Amino acid sequence: MSRKLIAGNWKMNGSLAANQALVRELLAGLGGTAPCDVAVCPPAAYLAQLQSLLAAAPTVALGAQDVSEHVGGAYTGNVSAAMLRDFGVRYGIVGHSERRQYQHESDIQVGRKAERLLEAGITPIVCVGETLVEREQGLTEFVVTRQLAAAIHFNRARLDDIVVAYEPVWAIGTGQTATPEQAQQVHALLRAQLEAAGAAPGSVRILYGGSMNAGNAAALLAEPDIGGGLIGGAALKAADFLKIIEAAA
């Protein structure tokens, strides 16, 4: 399997001053090298700032939190994949549970967004995950495979070029975390689905995205099918984010 990927999702947090301080501390801690691939995904308003801050730091890639399913046109407020490419964006999160919940994004929209990113040469991070009610009803497998199926449908010829993130909704920002065994079970399921659809064995990195932090990262990342982490709150603290990166070694 390729190097692990640790991607920080800043969500709707940050300011010009806070971003600069966080990135400087992160880069100082890395010292010009990293034991894994690293990305930070700020709000779209700060992409230009982060592009500048990371210009001399090839060890940290710039990511985006969303992208339009449309190439361009009369879609006020949307940001296209080509626009993201202009800012040097290398990863784009699509289908995050918060967008599925609050913006009512469908599986089909998520699949199309991943397609737009791939067309622009950007790696999509396709998020899938079940709610607590769905898990308690025994629907985890049904939900995550249905969500991933849409991304597969639109991008079957390029499955090796995507990243998947399993983010159990019940563990996001709640302090709860799937056990390494629970996470591995779902990651193995997703990997089998990808490889049955034509992905090369072990080619797709599947990240865990449910409250991974400095304390639990090592145990989660030790599982064979967990290829990294999509980090929320811990990505806003350089010391914690650096500890997770270290654990990915």
- List all residues 6 or more positions away from 167 whose beta carbon is below 8 Å from its beta carbon: 96, 97, 127, 128, 129, 208, 209, 210, 230
Q: Is 195 a catalytic residue?
A: no
- DSSP characters over 50-106: HHHHTTT-TTEEEEES---SSSSSS-TT---HHHHHHTT--EEEES-HHHHHHS---
| Cα 93 from Cα 223, distance rounded (Å) | 23
Cα–Cα–Cα angle for 198, 121, 67, rounded to 5 degrees? 95
Active-site annotation holder among 96, 105, 130, 187: 96
Q: Pick the catalytic residue: 69, 115, 130, 167?
A: 167
Active site residue 96: yes
Residues with active-site annotation: 96, 167
